[in-house]
Amino acid sequence: MFELIKTDPSSRARRGRLRTSHGDIETPQYMPVGTQASVKAVAPRDLEAMGAEIILGNTYHLFLRPGLEVMNKFGGLHKFMNWSRPILTDSGGFQVFSLAKLRNISDAGVEFRSHLDGTKFFLGPKESMAIQHALGSDIIMAFDECPPWPAEEGAVAAAVERTITWARASLDHHRHLTATDETRPTQVQALFGIVQGGGYPHLREQCAKAITALDFDGFAIGGVSVGEPEPEMYKAAEATVPHLPEHKVRYAMGLGQPHQIVELVARGVDIFDCVLPTRVARHATVYTRTGTLNLRGAQYRMDGSPLDPACGCYACQNFTRAYIRHLFKAGEILALVLVSLHNLWFYQDLMRDIRNALSTDSFRAFRENFLRTYQTTKEKP
């Protein structure tokens, strides 16, 4: 499923290709987040135009709304939202632990109340696999327990144990469903395992060894992007990646800012997802080659330049900072649409640049140059 095309001599970075039933994904790759069957404020035609090869959907949200009855009626998430390229869905575990009101946790799963209307549900490895089969996503994720940050070592160790137990159960039930469910006979759904372990390198190692001993199609670094400081995030990645097999794809969940993506690629990560580009867009924050800027600033009132002069997106090709700033000040929806579009385009450009640098053996120079140019301190999104 994963073809390792090239490795970078200056770092752990890799250039690869992931095959799915809905098309190939060139890695390193960033996935726009379509939580509720929509990448916020951006239409599928624009995702296609910017070259997005895969998007992410959230099992927890889609399970609650529109729900499986609707999903089954329309033959899965691709058809429901009219997206013909690959989709990855998470397991729902992260949202159950972070959004829902928890009731009971057992080895079978979690009883919780919906954050929308309080309705009681149960979600465990079996249920998560069944939902993700109904969604028909190309890559599905094992059900895991993601501890909060910070957490005591004992709590993280327990989450690692449960994550390993649930990983086995996820794999078993996925095999069972694949063998028995004939809804999509031609579609192959890949299943990725998730490594937890918080900020404890020995727990990361222990979890990685147990999870990689199972026959997953790829591996994710979970328990990052949960509020930890940036050095802790890198530490977690560094404690995990060396224990992952070379010839399977690696996914850092929920990450990250542009410079973090470059640094994680250098640490051997292949795929990313992150809500930042669309989330900060709704607060007028714009990604540019030199860092982020916030359009609400008075200095952009008469600024006739595009959001990012180096960008080829519809917003940058047609509108000025002054105009889009005006749209924000006036509360116009088009402001959110244009900046969301631009920010996602920026991320796609970043990944293209990274892949191109790896393909042309110039990743080291690219990395140095990017980190010199992109000012993370200018403004924090």
- Report residue 114: phi and psi, to 5°: -55, 140
Q: At closest approach, how far in Å is the CB of 234 from its own copies?
A: 34
Q: At closest approach, how far in Å is the CB of 64 from its own copies?
A: 10
Determine whether 273 is an active site residue.
Answer: yes
For every residue of 363-376, DSSP letters joined together read: HHHHHHHHHHHS-S
Q: Does 319 bind its own copies (CB under 8 A)?
A: yes
DSSP single-letter state for residue 243:
G
Please, which residue, 81 or 265, has the CB nearer to its own copies? 81
- Across-strand partners of 16? 4, 27
Collapsed DSSP state (helix, strand, coil) of residue 92: coil
Please, which residue, 69 or 215, has the CB nearer to its own copies? 69
Of the candidate spans 72-80, 119-127, 144-152, 240-248, the one that interacts with its own copies by CB under 8 A turns out to be: 72-80
Residue 319 near residue 338 (C-beta atoms within 8 A): yes
Comparing CA positions, the residue from 252, 230, 231, 229 lying closest to residue 240 is: 252
Q: Does 69 bind its own copies (CB under 8 A)?
A: yes
Residue 179 host element (H or E):
helix 153-180
Contacts of 30 (CB under 8 A, 6+ apart): 261, 271, 272, 273, 274, 347, 348, 350, 351
Of the candidate spans 107-115, 127-135, 189-197, 312-320, the one that interacts with its own copies by CB under 8 A turns out to be: 312-320
Q: Does 298 bind its own copies (CB under 8 A)?
A: no
Q: At closest approach, how far in Å is the CB of 22 from its own copies?
A: 17
Residues 323-352 within binding reach of its own copies (CB under 8 A): 323, 326-327, 329-330, 332-334, 336-338
Please, which residue, 69 or 182, has the CB nearer to its own copies? 69
Of the candidate spans 4-12, 65-73, 145-153, 268-276, the one that interacts with its own copies by CB under 8 A turns out to be: 65-73
Which one from 90, 144, 270, 349 is the annotated catalytic residue?
90
Residue 28 near residue 351 (C-beta atoms within 8 A): yes
Q: Report in angstroms the alpha-carbon separations of 242 from 23, 133, 235, 355.
A: 28, 31, 12, 21
Q: Where are the alpha helices (DSSP H) in 65-147?
A: 68-73, 77-81, 93-98, 125-135
Number of residues that bind its own copies (CB under 8 A): 38
Q: At closest approach, how far in Å is the CB of 303 from its own copies?
A: 10
Interaction pattern, residues 7-46, with its own copies; x per rule: CB under 8 A: -----------------------------xxx-xxxxxx-
Q: Which two tokens stand for residue 286?
A: 């714009």
Interface with its own copies (CB under 8 A), residue from 68, 102, 188, 302: 302
Q: Which residues are catalytic?
A: 90, 273
Q: Give the residues lining the site for its own copies (CB under 8 A).
A: 36-38, 40-45, 61, 65-66, 69-70, 73-74, 80-82, 301-302, 304, 314, 318-320, 322-323, 326-327, 329-330, 332-334, 336-338
